[in-house]
Structure 1
Amino acid sequence: MLWCNLSPAIAQETKLMIRAKAKDAKFIGSSIGGAKIIVKNSLTGEILAQGLTAGSTGNTKKIMEEPVVRHQELAEESTAGFEAILDVKEPTLVNIEGFAPLNKQQARVKSSTELWVIPGKDITGDGIILEFPGFVIDILSPQTHEILSAKDSIELKANIVMMCGCPITKGGLWDANQYEVKALITGENGQSKEIKMEQKEKVSTFFAKAQLESGLYEVLIYAFDPVTGNTGVDKTNIIIK
């Protein structure tokens, strides 16, 4: 008869490289404030590790232009990521949540996945990549609660970038001509009008003008990519007198 001597399990340090990648763009790193990463025990909810992705957005040519083959790594040493170091005694199912871009609340979305972590079996290289769809939109004009005259044209201006902060320009890698960008202006009577906005003069900046009667208005600016399904929104309120 074969006998086995059983001994208590000992926790082993296990490393997980976790990266946040913008849909149809590059990695989310230090230049836009990073992604908040939280690793939890899926069964108990215990937080095992947490932190921010830090580093560069990555190699544009490798990520966006060259064909990708099986097992090819997109990340390089400087590419943004968060290395979670876990102490686990046994194979553990973990939940990985990411919130990005962390510093842009109106654009921030959650992405998550689950996987088994085996003690001592590091996951490195590209590691675990969470994808974040969307656009980051900041309304630059009109300003929040700004009081404007009905006699004057209202300038609509918004800065729009990919979730990694990558710029949008006409004819560029992220082509402004591909995206539908509009201002949706809604009065206190519930009636709305849509105004097309265009990128011009400045990288990632979209413009339009509107003429409004006296009243209270909500200004919502959205971007939509019919190719990838990426969407983004920002909104503000103004007063016309």
Structure 2
Amino acid sequence: MKRSYFLTFVFALFLSSTGHLFSQETKIMVRALATDAKFIGSSMGGAKIIIRDVETGKILDEGLTKGITGDTEVILLSPKDRYEDIITEKTAGYEAILDLDKPTFVSIEAHGPMGKKQAKVISSTQLWVIPGRNISGNGIILEIPGFVVDVLSPQTHETINAETEIEIRANIVMMCGCPVTEDGTWDASGYEIKALISSEDKEQREIALKATGKASTFFETVQLEKGEYEIAVFAFDPKTGNTGLDKVHIIVN
């Protein structure tokens, strides 16, 4: 009988050491919040969330944030009390489910927005997670800085006659997809929106783009001499440091 008890005890210790005993399901809500804007959700392809065990490097869970960008009034425009939620039931997030048998020091990464790879950045943090102690509500919020900039015209590697006026046109939104407009919540007049035109044998030119009247769309025209050019359009917010850029290469002949 004593031998039986001893074997049971040894077996229990073995299971415990391999993580199959006393493990608990632990839920962590993770959200990606665009700097000075709203949450990155389904409309922008989501943000990819990766949770790793810092000690081993093992990925414990990963997935995409899904849902809507949230309530502008709640997130940005109204005063908030301590501990107050800034989310609604459908606000974008990813609920990770970890199977833990001991307190674990983890890293959490948000890669986004996944729908605009040229604008994608990574934000991360680290924290201890205790088995069975869920993190819900607002959850872990990782801030994603920048703008999403898409050059619409000219097109990549487009060949243009030197006598033709070239239209530079770009679409610019916040990282959550929120529109940039004149006098809007994300006011274009407070941002620097310009095109940098460069060529190997010519001095770089910088021209400001102006609003078209269509939300998030900006343009200007320019005439260029024969040559190969890189046109980089950027948006910069001096208040927050948000910056975004896209570029194309063209041939003028």
TM-score (normalizing by structure 1): 0.96
Query: What is the match of residue 192 of structure 1?
Result: 204
Query: What is the match of residue 48 of structure 2?
Result: 36
Are 2:237 and 1:211 equivalent residues in the alignment? no
Whichever residue aligns with residue 170 of structure 2, its letter is A
Q: 1:138 aligns with which of 110, 128, 150?
A: 150
The gaps in structure 1 that reach 5 residues or longer are none
Describe the SS at the equivalent of 1:43: coil
Trace 1:21-170 onto structure 2 (pairs within 5 A). 21-170=33-182
- Deviation at residue 201 of structure 1 after TM alignment: 2.1
Q: 1:224 aligns with which of 236, 248, 251?
A: 236
Return the index of the structure with the highest Cα Rg. Answer: 2
Task: Report the identity percentage.
Answer: 57
Describe the SS at the equivalent of 1:62: helix
| In 1: Cα distance, 2:126 partner to 2:26 partner | 16
Are 2:179 and 1:178 equivalent residues in the alignment? no
Describe the SS at the equivalent of 2:117: coil
Query: What is the match of residue 5 of structure 2?
Result: none
| In 1: Cα distance, 2:67 partner to 2:215 partner | 23
| In 1: Cα distance, 2:77 partner to 2:62 partner | 32
| In 2: Cα distance, 1:139 partner to 1:121 partner | 46
The structure with the greater share of residues assigned to helix is: 2
| In 2: Cα distance, 1:88 partner to 1:239 partner | 57
Output one character per residue of 1:19-54: Cα deviation in whole Å (capped at 9) or x when no partner: 000000000000111000000001100000000000
| In 1: Cα distance, 2:201 partner to 2:106 partner | 49
Q: Which moved more, 1:94-103 or 1:21-30?
A: 94-103
Whichever residue aligns with residue 115 of structure 1, its letter is L
Describe the SS at the equivalent of 1:27: coil
| In 1: Cα distance, 2:123 partner to 2:73 partner | 25
Output one character per residue of 1:134-175: Cα deviation in whole Å (capped at 9) or x when no partner: 000000000000000111111000000000000010000000
| In 1: Cα distance, 2:95 partner to 2:114 partner | 17
Output one character per residue of 1:171-201: Cα deviation in whole Å (capped at 9) or x when no partner: 0000010000000000121521000001222
Q: CA RMSD in A?
A: 1.2
Query: What is the match of residue 6 of structure 2?
Result: none
Q: Which moved more, 1:187-196 or 1:156-165?
A: 187-196
Q: How many residues align?
A: 237
| In 2: Cα distance, 1:71 partner to 1:198 partner | 41
Describe the SS at the equivalent of 2:102: coil
